[in-house]
Amino acid sequence: MKFQTPAGHNPIDRMSVVGQPLDRIDGPLKTTGTAPYAYEQHDAAPDAAYGHVVGAGIAKGRIRRLDIKAAERAPGVLAVITADTAGPLEVGPHNTVPLLGGPEIRHYHQAVALVVAESFEAARAAAGRVRIEYEAHAGAYDLEAARTTATAPEANAQMGEPDTQVGDFLGAFADAPVRLDETYTTPDQSHMMMEPHASIARWDDGTLTLWTSTQMVEWCARGIAKTLRMDRSKVHVISPYIGGGFGGKLFLRADALLAALGARATGRPVKVALHRPLIANNSTHRPATIQRVRLGATRDGVITAIGHESWSGDQPGGGPETAVSQTRLLYAGANRLTAMRLAVLDLPEGNSMRAPGEAPGMMALEIAMDEMAEKLRLDPVEFRIRNDTQVDPENPERPFSARPLITCLQTGAAQFGWQRRDARPGRVKDGQWLVGLGMAAAFRNNLPMTSGARVRLDGDGRITVETDMTDIGTGSYTIIAQTAAEMMGVRMDQVEVRLGDSTYPVSAGSGGQFGANNATSGVYAACIGLREEVARRLGFNSQDADFADGQVRSGNRSAPLASAAARGEIVAEDRIEYGDLHKTHQQSTFGSHFVEVAVDGATGEVRVRRMLAVCAAGRILNPKSARSQVIGAMTMGVGAALMEHLKVDTRRGFFVNHDLASYEVPVHADIPHQEVIFLDETDPMSSPMKAKGVGELGICGVAAAVANAIYNATGVRVRDYPITLDTYLDRLPDVA
């Protein structure tokens, strides 16, 4: 069905199930360890062999000699797969670099061989016997050094144009009474999800079945089909549970391809998991950025010029980190300039990670806004309010479908006790601790995407939902069940949800915070078809029929829902489509982040004492699971501010800290108090669910709020992330 703004009765508006803080359907399976992840499909592949990946030991160059004979003779070895033995392969539609390298090497730990054996230990031991001689070439590994050679990337639908200009930015900036011109940097970062990239592959009469950990089932199926040069109809992808992805599992990766190649070579199912060091260097990561922000304003705090330029790097054929995307939409300003430049780097592939674009972009922009507010002697909240806009600043003819940013800012300030903040840095002390408050706006776009589903009604009145949507730990099973229960008027325990199977209708998938709104809208569309068929069989007018409590009522007549399927199951399938809605209205989500930190005056240690997020993201489909998403994102934002940094060896071209021990992330004990407020908002233009994405909104702006709080506590401004002790310790004030 093509979505149009709902007029009149919408069954979802009943909100007897949708919008309620219900427990996760998959909760008992997750907490008891019985949810079968990709590597644990023992029943489907009881005789699976094990594959161990050999990664390249150089970052750029060629394999001069690859000797696998000793590995092939090792105990338990069934096969050794290399580029020479794998047969012709193509580069998948979402891959920049071949997933199986050789003889050319494009980055460190690019897979160059897979050893398949009867046991994991045998495969790992034999992998150590693979002998490789390399011819290393000089490479580019330092973004700052490569910055001067960066060029404008090609425009595409996701990024838009690399450069945008409105008005006369340079003239307005030069004439502005108050100006800011600063440079900020963000580092390379790793997803570091708990579940590694893992797959089991099995071939049956030319058909490949792949159990894999992927956020996007259809993308994975199309990717493996193109890479292996086979018909898409011969690929069956299954991914019922994913132990975290954060963007790193959006696209086909080496584990899936190598499992398929290993299974084809041995005639047995093969399971492959990337060992932890390969996750940092073999899979994708968030690229580092260098960002220049220029702001010009009148003395009363009205922005007259806003400019944001960003430099990032990737492999040839890759794309930029779109760090200027939010600056094109977030604040008013008649004269505007944004630009993205892409340098060629020989590091592992960069790609989507935890709110790509907005998360690192706001790490810079929202510090700049704080610095400008101080120059103007304005409260940071008030400065943002003065520069709100209800239309797309680059295209004033296109209004926002909903934009309660000011409400988010005011609500957050009141709830957090912002009025008690001392604007003079370094003035509030708690013993040896310097205490500060910081804030930032939150922004992330809402992306309408086509999404399909199939629903079934059986003679017992049970509803079954089938869609290839995935659950990456965010609660997809539950909100989809809530949608079907609301639409068909049944209890939650009367709904079965089947996800993550490529034989089901294609959904939006999980990524870009677009999953929940679009996937549930696809279920809504399918349920509309089911309701119409039920009403027809019962002799009711579908427009007048009311579905509630397992009954269908129309006027003074009623009948059990189950009776409509007494002569056989009823099946309906449909998908939601949005047409040109994005051209007439800008759809975005908004919020505010407030943070209190304490900085030890002697050691510089930072403690985050409390955090608050206020989110406006349309109808919240399940406040309990949505809150969990947001506090998880807030925690990731703290990691980006204080800890997360893939350290690049600029001589050898690899990420040094490539495991969970040395890549630091925050834990529960680091943040004692987190609060989330959802505005009571619906957006009828977003979808029939009137919802929008919320998961990634929780990270956008957090790092800057932490940085601004540290400045308020100490008077030390740090513009390079992560904010570690060495960046400010020698500048701390005397607390005596």
The residues carrying an active-site annotation are 696
Do the Cβ atoms of 462 and 495 come closer than 8 Å?
yes
Residue of 479, 485, 622, 496 whose CA lies nearest to 548? 485
Task: Say which amino acid occupies 75.
Answer: P
CA dist., res. 108 & res. 58, Å (int): 5
CA dist., res. 527 & res. 533, Å (int): 10
Do the Cβ atoms of 344 and 149 come closer than 8 Å?
yes
Structure tokens at 101: 């390298």
Residue owning tokens 């600063």: 182
Is residue 384 within a helix (H) or strand (E), and if so which, with residue range? helix 380-386
Do the Cβ atoms of 712 and 698 come closer than 8 Å?
no
Residue owning tokens 């989809």: 480
**DSSP label at 418?**
G
In Å, how far are 314, 345, 648, 731 from 150, measured between CA atoms? 10, 10, 19, 34
The H-assigned helical ranges of 489-622 are: 515-538, 581-584
Residue owning tokens 């009474």: 177
Per-residue HEC secondary structure of 429-471 comes to EECCEEEEEEEEEEEEECCCCCEEEEEEECCCCCEEEECCCCC
Is residue 200 within a helix (H) or strand (E), and if so which, with residue range? strand 198-204
616: helix, coil or strand?
Answer: strand
Do the Cβ atoms of 527 and 488 come closer than 8 Å?
yes
Do the Cβ atoms of 166 and 393 come closer than 8 Å?
yes
